[in-house]
């Protein structure tokens, strides 16, 4: 990856729908050379996809909850079963396997407290091997950066 690839990535992070011709002009390449570079970045996994960034607030998801989960153990089977089940919960936006006090940290979107109670009861408490759930409610979002520095 060189400086032109980095410039392509910075621009695509700001506008993933930019026309190839415009992108090529901004980075100083021909349209075909730019298209080839983007294709290489996609095939190598540097660009993992394109998506629309939705507003949780506009979709009436007013509560973000950080959920710390402890499991009964960290055996491969336990982790595999938990991870397969948590992927099915549509309100779980992010799930990280952690080191430290908790096994997993999740970011969960809920419409209100009643909705979170439902998610907790029907989904989180039903996940396999869970022995402890600790929920923290976000008061206000300060930053949710979709872009990484390139």
List all residues 6 or more positions away from 143 whose beta carbon is below 8 Å from its beta carbon: none
Question: How large is the average pLDDT for residues 141-150?
Answer: 86
C-alpha separations of 101 from 106, 128, 139 in Å:
14, 19, 23
Q: Write the DSSP string, 6-27.
A: HHHHHHHHH-TT--HHHHHHHH
CA-based radius of gyration for the chain: 20
pTM for the model stands at 0.84
Per-residue pLDDT tens over the stretch 73-99: 999 999 999 999 999 999 999 999 999
Q: What is the pLDDT of residue 46?
A: 96
pLDDT band at 148 (very low <50, low <70, confident <90, very high): confident
Residue 60: pLDDT above 90? yes
């Amino acid at each position: 990856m060189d400086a032109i690839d980095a410039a392509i990535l910075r621009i695509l992070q700001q506008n993933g729908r930019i026309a190839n011709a415009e992108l090529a002009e901004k980075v100083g390449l021909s349209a075909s050379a730019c298209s080839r570079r983007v294709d290489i970045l996609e095939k190598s996994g540097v660009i993992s996809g394109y998506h629309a960034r939705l507003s949780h607030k506009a979709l009436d998801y007013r509560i973000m909850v950080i959920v710390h989960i402890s499991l009964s153990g960290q055996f491969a089977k336990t982790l595999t079963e938990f991870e397969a089940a948590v992927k099915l919960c549509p309100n779980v936006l992010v799930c990280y396997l952690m080191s430290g006090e908790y096994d997993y940290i999740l970011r969960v979107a809920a419409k209100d407290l009643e909705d979170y109670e439902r998610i907790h009861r029907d989904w989180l408490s039903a996940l396999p091997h869970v022995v402890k759930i600790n929920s923290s409610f976000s008061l206000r979002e300060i930053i949710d950066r979709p872009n990484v520095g390139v």
